[in-house]
Structure formats: structure tokens, C-alpha cells
Amino acid sequence: MSTPELISPRSPRVVAARRLAKRNFRGKDRLFIAEGPQAVREAVEHRGSTGQPTLVELFTTVEAAERYATIIDAARAAGARVHLASDAVLAEVSQTVTPQGLVGVCRFLDSPFEDIIAARPRLVAVLAHVRDPGNAGTVLRCADAAGADAVILTDASVDLYNPKSVRASVGSLFHLPVAVGVPVEQAVEGLKSVGVRILAADGAGEDDLDDELDAGTMGGPTAWVFGNEAWGLPEETRALADAVVRVPIHGKAESLNLATAAAVCLYASARAQRPRTGS
């Protein structure tokens, strides 16, 4: 078995990676942490808009290097610096209680909002005032699963690169364009300019999701706007939408949480947009 080369938690490389736990350092370095085999595998395969590999650096334990040899080889082939590290070093750079043995340092990968608009998207998730990083990552994952073309995080929402957001996306962060820091008014105006219908998801919405589906109004390009976990969408944001839509509650539950409601809405649009096959 190989011996770790990086054993001191006080090493400059370890200190540099560890500080990415803080948003101001992430923004300054334009780097973030991705942990675990799934996220690191996706990072290895991802390329930014300039063609640069997204994964810059990889810390791995001896055991993980042996278990995930294919990922390690691919990381080296992509030009990432690979450090065989001690368990103490992994614990230092990891953002989880139980590290999985692989911690990658990645370049920021968000897309310019203008590029998303130029691609004329058909299904978009807009996170307005979403503050919980786990929810943001989960909605991103739902959007990816539903086949959305992009996700937009407004300037009032959580940091895309928060470690909890990255983990909750389970690799989906690397799958579709994400714009960050866009004022909600700019996001709505830009999407409307390319023919996208804006639907605000709100439990107190005037329109019912089932009625929208029955009326056949959801087959065109659509952007869903999701609000804050506790207080939903402010009136001024609701007023920007073409319709404010509620997910119907057929049972006795008081409401749905943000991520569940987002999954229902995005999949409803995805189904409405898919061409029907068969008789």
C-alpha cells in the first residue's frame, strides 16, 4: 500500500483548500470544494466555457485512491494536481462529518445570464430569495432530472458554491448551465424577451397546477420562480409572473416543502412539453 505524501494539516495546500469553506475566499479565488466520488467524477469530466478543466486539485486518502483508481487516473489525465493525503488532512479539507476520501478543488462554473437567454431555453428554474443551501442544491438536482435547460439563482438567494448546496446537487451542478447573482426583475425580463412564460410557484396562488395542465397551457417555454422557504414570494415578485400557480393539496398535509413543490412543478412542465407518442 502507498504512503500518504501530504500529512500535515498545516501545509499551505491544505490551508488554501480549507479556507474555501468561507464564501469570501471562494469568491476571491473563484474556487469551490466538491466531495465524494460522484461529485469528483462529474468534476473530472466537466469543462468550463473556455475549455479549461473544472477540477484543479484533488485530495485523496490511500484507501480511496485504490478504490477509485479510475477517477484518480482520469483526474491526473485532465491535468489536476493529485495529493495522496493522510486521514487528518482529508478531515481538515472536508466539509462533512464523515469524509468519503475524495475532496476536489474546482473552478467556478456558473454561466453568464446572457448565454442562457441566447440559448432560448424551454424549461428554467429561477430561485428567488431561496436561502437554504440544501434546498438550492436539491432544486438544482430536480431541475436536472426534469430535463431543464438552466437554473438561475437571483442576487437574493444563497451562494451556489456553498458546500451544502454542492453536496445536495449530487453532481447535477456539473450538468446544466447555472447563472448566479441575477436580479429577479432582470431574470424575468430576459426570459420573457425570448418567449418564456413565467410561472410563480406559491401555495396561495390563484391558479391551480392541475387546471393549468388540463387547459393545455404548459407546453410552451416556461420558467418556474420559486421563493423563500418560510415566506414564499414577495408581492412584487409575484406581480412579475404571467400566472401564480399553486400545487393542489388533495390530502390533509398543510403544505409541501420547497424542493418537493419544485419537483412537482418542473416535472409537470416537462411532461407537458414532451411530445406524446402512441395512440
pLDDT at 279: 41
Within the chain, all domains assigned CATH 3.30.1330.30 are found at 12-107
Q: Please check the confidence at residue 211 and state whether its pLDDT lies above 60.
A: yes
Within the chain, all domains assigned CATH 3.40.1280.10 are found at 113-273
Report the first-to-last Cα separation within the chain, whole angstroms: 60
Which of 35-39, 92-96, 112-116, 221-225 bottoms out in mean pLDDT, i.e. has the lowest?
92-96
Sign of the C-alpha dihedral computed for residues 259, 225, 235 and 165 taken in this order: positive
% of the chain beyond a pLDDT of 70:
97
Based on its alpha-carbon atoms, the radius of gyration of the chain, rounded to whole angstroms, reads 21
pLDDT at 203: 85
What mean pLDDT is predicted for residues 105-116? 95
Sign of the C-alpha dihedral computed for residues 117, 119, 124 and 130 taken in this order: negative
Cell triple for residue 77? 489525465
pLDDT at 40: 95
The DSSP call for residue 160 is T
- What Å distances lie between residue 111 and 2, 57, 85, 218, CA to CA? 40, 22, 33, 26
pLDDT digits over 44-53, tens only? 999 877 778 9
In this structure, are residues 222 and 269 in contact, taking their beta carbons and an 8 Å threshold? yes
What is the secondary structure of 181-239 as a DSSP string? EE-HHHHHHHHHHTTPEEEEE-TT-SEEHHHHHHHT--SS-EEEEE-BTTTB--HHHHT
C-alpha–C-alpha distance, residues 36 and 72, integer Å = 12
Coil, helix or strand for 68? coil
What mean pLDDT is predicted for residues 8-26? 92
Strands (E), 25-120: 31-35, 55-60, 81-84, 102-107
- Half-sphere exposure (Cβ direction) of 52: Cα atoms closer than 13 Å: 9
Question: Binning pLDDT at 50, 70 and 90, where does residue 263 land?
Answer: very high
Q: Please check the confidence at residue 119 and state whether its pLDDT lies above 60.
A: yes
According to CATH, the topology of domain 12-107 is: 60s Ribosomal Protein L30; Chain: A; (3.30.1330)
pTM: 0.91
Q: Please check the confidence at residue 277 and state whether its pLDDT lies above 90.
A: no
Residue of 18, 161, 166 whose CA lies nearest to 89: 18
C-alpha–C-alpha distance, residues 55 and 224, integer Å = 31
Q: Please check the confidence at residue 278 and state whether its pLDDT lies above 60.
A: no
pLDDT at 232: 81
pLDDT at 231: 79
pLDDT digits over 218-258, tens only? 999 999 999 887 778 889 999 999 999 999 999 988 888 89
Average pLDDT value for the chain: 91
Domain 113-273 has CATH 3.90.1150.10: no
pLDDT at 276: 64
Q: Pseudo-torsion of CA 155, 147, 30, 76, nearest 10°?
A: 170
β-strands 31-35, 55-60 pairing: unpaired
